[in-house]
Amino acid sequence: MLSNFAVSAIAFLIALGILISIHEYGHFWVARKVGIKVLTYSLGFGKPLWRRVGKVDNTEYVVAAIPLGGYVKMLDEREGTVLAHERHRAFNNKPLWARTAVVLAGPVANFILAIFAYWLVMMMGISGIAPIVGSVPAGSAAEQAGFQVEDKILAINGRTTNTWTDARITLIDEGIDRTEPIPIDVETNSGETSTRLLNTSNVSLLNTDSDVFEDLGLTIWQPDIEPVVGAFTENSAAEAAGLLVGDRITQANGQSIETFNDLVAIVHPRAGEPIEFVVQRDGLNMDATVTPQASTRNGQTVGLIGVAPNRPDGLDRLNVKVSYPPLEALGKAVQRTYDMTTLTLQMLVKLVVGEASLDNISGPLSIAQFAGQSASVGIDHYINFLALISLSLAVLNLMPIPMLDGGHLVYFAAEAVTGRPVSERVQIWGQQLGIVLLGGLMFLAFYNDIGRFLQ
Residues that are catalytic: 24
Neighbouring residues of 179: CB distance < 8 A, sequence distance ≥ 6: 201
Q: In angstroms, rounded to a whole number, what is the distance separating the alpha carbons of residues 126 and 22?
A: 24
Given phi > 0 = left and psi -120 to 50 = alpha, else beta, which region is 283? left
Q: Please, is 135 exposed, middle or buried when counting C-beta atoms within 10 Å of its C-beta (0-12, 13-18, 19+)? A: middle
Phi and psi at residue 335, to the nearest 5°: -65, -45
In contact, 368 and 68? CB cutoff 8 Å: no
In contact, 305 and 119? CB cutoff 8 Å: no
Neighbouring residues of 158: CB distance < 8 A, sequence distance ≥ 6: 183
In contact, 225 and 312? CB cutoff 8 Å: yes
DSSP result, 299-363: TEEEEE--EEEPPPTTGGGTEEEE---HHHHHHHHHHHHHHHHHHHHHHHHHHHHTSS-GGG---
* SS3 state at 392: helix
